[in-house]
């Protein structure tokens, strides 16, 4: 299943095209039909010759209704770009294309309209113009299809092309039905005898009769009384689809366009997020005010503040704040609009839905580790809410960023080495982690080591401390002891070369000198020269520093990791 949304300049025949394809009048209001101007979202559907059902959302083309156009296009699977061959591409053609590029549906189809009014040369000229416009697009686009809502030319071909594109993206959409439910409401109304009904694009998950869902406020739970698709009652509907949902426990007056229907506890509902912004040419953030952000049918006025500090000033990372919460996940895309200029400024991609670090210390690179690192240990359910990913538990039902795991395990080992202790003093996670540490015995509520690990008395430890960063080869007989010392966190290695972890920590002053000399980071060669070692040791050394998070690789350079501060 897929949802198709139209796009294009005002009066280029979007509604007439939908009417010709579906037989349904998308302009629902008398004023729209009287003025011949689409003011709000319209809807239709048609069945292709192979039985594929096409859900179509018709959007207004006038510049004054861009936010409505965004609401219709957001979460659509396919963009149907409509261009009048008499006029060719115009201002809103390009503006709507900017919205499409920001939202990034999976594919695009181009329809040339009113072809009955021009000759073949004009058709070819406009088709070339459109192809040139789309040449740099990130989306796969069809060859422009010539259509006429008056004569019917190309209408059936367009329907079949849309059905073909729907089939081509099925694999990409299959996983969406397995995600938690989210639907942004575009209409809410009451029906006598039925009660409150909302409509919208089911962008993820499944909605079922009898399901408990949250609407609007994250604490307002309601029940799904009925589900319809194309006017037909269904027990359940999967994403991506246009649906109508009958709700009990809420009145239509309590629901607005832009409210979201979601599953409880599956979504973060933040009022601020860390984002990466990709601006269109000619746009700028300026003072971070005067912008609106659009996702689904929701619109929020936002403020933007740079994050990441001086070292990340060119990363286009910002903290976005808005007054009312939204159900969001990492990877969500906001269309960012400059309200002063009345133009699309770019796209804001959500990288962190629950930022904890201060703006100067936040580094929202979108990685799972970054999203988790400031939250300590969380359940796998909470981790999915924070990251949008299903993560394998580290122990029992708990998960954490690698640096948190390492820190917790190191702290437990240190406590064990100091003597026995009462596990009542431990958290649930720590008690579970004790079972992962070798030689731990828990008796009568007390944890202790079963004995001193022989590896910790090995002369190899003194040898590695003495050799520093120029360590020698390992004898075959010593390899089991070295492997044990690696597991105990005493040694660390890469490609068969090992170092004592204390030796690497003691390199911090030298590393600071290198970073002060070049804030962009140092290369392997820089470190080799500074330490007076060969590449044989320098390359494993930087990889071990990365493993300890003393450094972090960026291209061919090493910058500060999490254990080293300015």
* Contacts for 357 with CB less than 8 Å, ≥ 6 apart: 363, 374
pLDDT at 529 (0 to 100): 94
Among 79, 142, 80, 124, residue whose Cα is nearest residue 105: 79
Q: Are residues 294 and 328 in the same domain?
A: yes
**Between the CA of residue 540 and those of 74, 240, 464, 497, 551, what are the distances in Å?**
48, 48, 15, 6, 13
Q: Are residues 471 and 445 in the same domain?
A: no
CB-based contact 73:61 (threshold 8 Å): no
Angle 91-103/120-134 helices, nearest 10 degrees?
Answer: 40
pLDDT at 418 (0 to 100): 78
pLDDT at 29 (0 to 100): 65
Q: Are residues 296 and 246 in the same domain?
A: no
Q: What are phi and psi of 241, to 5 degrees?
A: -155, 155
Tell me the CATH number at 37.
3.40.50.300
Question: Within a domain: residue 35?
Answer: yes
Q: Are residues 133 and 27 in the same domain?
A: yes
Question: Within a domain: residue 31?
Answer: yes
Is the sign of the CA dihedral 116, 121, 122, 126 positive or negative? positive
Tell me the CATH number at 531.
1.10.10.10
The rounded distance, in Å, linking the Cα atoms of 480 and 318 is 49
CB-based contact 182:75 (threshold 8 Å): no
Among 1, 8, 71, 77, residue whose Cα is nearest residue 42: 71
Tell me the CATH number at 211.
2.40.30.10
Domain boundary pick from 168, 202, 221: 168
Q: Are residues 301 and 436 in the same domain?
A: no
Q: Are residues 205 and 326 in the same domain?
A: no
Give the DSSP per-residue string, 103-115: H--SEEEEEEE-G
The rounded distance, in Å, linking the Cα atoms of 553 and 45 is 51
CB-based contact 261:297 (threshold 8 Å): no
Q: Are residues 393 and 535 in the same domain?
A: no
CB-based contact 346:364 (threshold 8 Å): no
CB-based contact 521:542 (threshold 8 Å): no
Q: Half-sphere exposure of residue 138, counting CA atoms within 13 Å on the CB side?
A: 9
The rounded distance, in Å, linking the Cα atoms of 230 and 120 is 38
pLDDT at 65 (0 to 100): 73
Q: Are residues 517 and 378 in the same domain?
A: no
Question: Within a domain: residue 436?
Answer: yes
Instruction: Tell me which DSSP letter residue 144 carries.
Output: P
Q: Where are the alpha helices (DSSP H) in 104-154?
A: 120-134
Angle 479-487/460-467 helices, nearest 10 degrees?
Answer: 80
Containing structural domain, residue 464: 456-560
The rounded distance, in Å, linking the Cα atoms of 172 and 127 is 28
Question: Within a domain: residue 99?
Answer: yes
Using alpha carbons only, how large is the chain's radius of gyration in Å? 30
Question: Within a domain: residue 413?
Answer: yes
Domain boundary pick from 423, 450, 477: 450
Question: Within a domain: residue 547?
Answer: yes
pLDDT per residue, tens digit, the chain (566 aa), is 789 999 999 889 899 999 999 999 887 767 656 666 666 888 899 999 999 999 999 988 666 678 888 888 988 999 999 999 999 999 889 999 999 999 999 999 999 999 999 999 999 999 999 999 999 999 999 999 999 999 999 999 999 999 999 999 988 888 898 899 999 999 999 998 889 999 999 999 999 999 999 998 777 899 999 999 988 999 999 989 999 999 999 999 999 999 999 999 899 999 999 999 999 888 888 888 999 999 999 999 999 999 988 777 778 999 999 999 999 999 999 999 998 888 899 999 999 999 999 998 899 999 999 999 999 999 999 999 999 999 999 999 999 999 999 999 999 999 888 777 788 889 999 999 999 998 888 876 778 887 666 677 899 999 999 999 999 999 998 998 998 788 777 899 999 999 999 999 999 999 999 999 999 999 999 999 999 999 899 999 999 999 998 999 999 999 998 644 44
Question: Within a domain: residue 256?
Answer: yes
CB-based contact 288:318 (threshold 8 Å): yes
Q: Are residues 344 and 422 in the same domain?
A: no
- Number of independent structural domains in the chain: 5
Angle 524-531/508-517 helices, nearest 10 degrees?
Answer: 130
Question: Within a domain: residue 362?
Answer: no
Q: Are residues 258 and 283 in the same domain?
A: no
The rounded distance, in Å, linking the Cα atoms of 472 and 3 is 63
Domain boundary pick from 262, 297, 332: 262
Region for residue 549 given its phi and psi (left: phi exceeds 0; alpha: psi -120 to 50; beta: otherwise)? left
Q: Which residues of 446-469 are buried (b: 16+ CB within 10 A; e: fewer)?
A: ebebeeebebeebebbeebeeebb
CB-based contact 215:267 (threshold 8 Å): no
Among 135, 207, 145, 139, residue whose Cα is nearest residue 172: 139
Per the DSSP assignment, residues forming a β-bridge with 251 are none
Q: Are residues 498 and 552 in the same domain?
A: yes
pLDDT at 566 (0 to 100): 40
Q: Are residues 420 and 545 in the same domain?
A: no
End-to-end CA distance of the chain: 53
């Amino acid at each position: 299943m897929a949802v198709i949304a139209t796009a294009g300049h005002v009066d280029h025949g979007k509604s007439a095209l939908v009417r010709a394809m579906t037989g349904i009048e998308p302009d629902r209001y008398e004023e729209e039909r009287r003025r011949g101007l689409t003011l709000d979202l319209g809807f239709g559907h048609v069945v292709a010759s192979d039985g594929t059902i096409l859900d179509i959302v018709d959007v207004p083309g006038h510049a004054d209704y861009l936010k409505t156009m965004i609401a219709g296009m957001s979460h659509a699977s396919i963009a149907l770009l409509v261009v009048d061959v008499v006029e060719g591409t115009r201002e809103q053609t390009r503006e709507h294309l900017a919205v499409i590029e920001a939202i990034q549906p999976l594919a695009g189809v181009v329809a040339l309209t009113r072809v009955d009014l021009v000759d073949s040369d004009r058709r070819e000229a406009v088709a070339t113009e459109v192809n040139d416009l789309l040449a740099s697009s990130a989306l796969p686009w069809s060859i422009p299809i010539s259509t006429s809502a008056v004569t019917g030319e190309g209408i059936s071909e367009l329907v079949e092309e849309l059905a073909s594109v729907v089939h081509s993206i099925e694999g990409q959409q299959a996983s969406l039905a397995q995600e938690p439910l989210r639907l942004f409401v575009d209409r809410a109304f009451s029906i006598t005898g039925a009660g409150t009904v909302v409509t919208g694009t089911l962008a993820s998950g499944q909605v079922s009769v009898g399901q408990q869902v949250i609407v609007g406020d994250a604490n307002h739970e309601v029940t799904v009384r009925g589900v319809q698709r194309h006017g037909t009652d269904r027990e359940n509907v999967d994403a991506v689809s246009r649906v109508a949902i009958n709700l009990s426990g809420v009145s239509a007056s309590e629901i607005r366009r832009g409210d979201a229907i979601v599953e409880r506890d599956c979504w973060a509902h933040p009022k601020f997020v860390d984002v990466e912004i990709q601006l269109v040419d000619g746009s700028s953030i300026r003072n971070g005010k005067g912008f609106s952000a659009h996702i689904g049918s929701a619109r929020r006025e936002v403020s933007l503040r740079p994050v990441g500090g001086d070292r990340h000033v060119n990363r286009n990372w910002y903290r976005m704040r808005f007054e009312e919460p939204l159900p969001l996940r990492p990877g969500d895309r906001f269309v960012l609009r400059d309200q002063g200029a009345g133009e699309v400024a770019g796209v804001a991609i959500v990288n962190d839905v629950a930022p904890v670090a201060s703006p100067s210390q936040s580094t929202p690179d979108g990685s799972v580790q970054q999203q988790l690192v400031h939250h300590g240990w969380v359940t796998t359910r909470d981790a999915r809410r924070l990251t949008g990913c299903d993560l394998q538990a580290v122990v029992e039902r708990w998960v954490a960023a690698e640096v948190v795991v390492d820190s917790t395990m190191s702290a437990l080992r240190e406590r064990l080495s100091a003597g026995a202790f009462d596990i009542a003093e431990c958290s649930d996670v720590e008690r579970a982690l004790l079972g992962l540490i070798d030689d731990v015995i828990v008796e009568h509520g007390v944890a202790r080591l079963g004995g001193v690990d022989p590896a910790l008395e090995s002369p190899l430890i003194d040898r590695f401390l003495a050799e520093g960063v120029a360590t020698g080869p390992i004898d075959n007989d010593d390899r089991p002891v070295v492997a044990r010392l690696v597991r105990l966190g005493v040694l660390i290695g890469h490609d068969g070369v090992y170092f004592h972890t204390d030796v690497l920590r003691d390199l911090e002053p030298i590393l600071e000198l290198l970073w002060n000399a070049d804030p962009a980071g140092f290369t392997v060669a820089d470190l080799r020269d500074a330490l007076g070692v060969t590449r044989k040791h320098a390359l494993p050394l930087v990889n071990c520093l990365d493993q300890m998070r003393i450094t972090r690789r960026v291209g061919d350079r090493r910058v500060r990791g999490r254990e080293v501060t300015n």
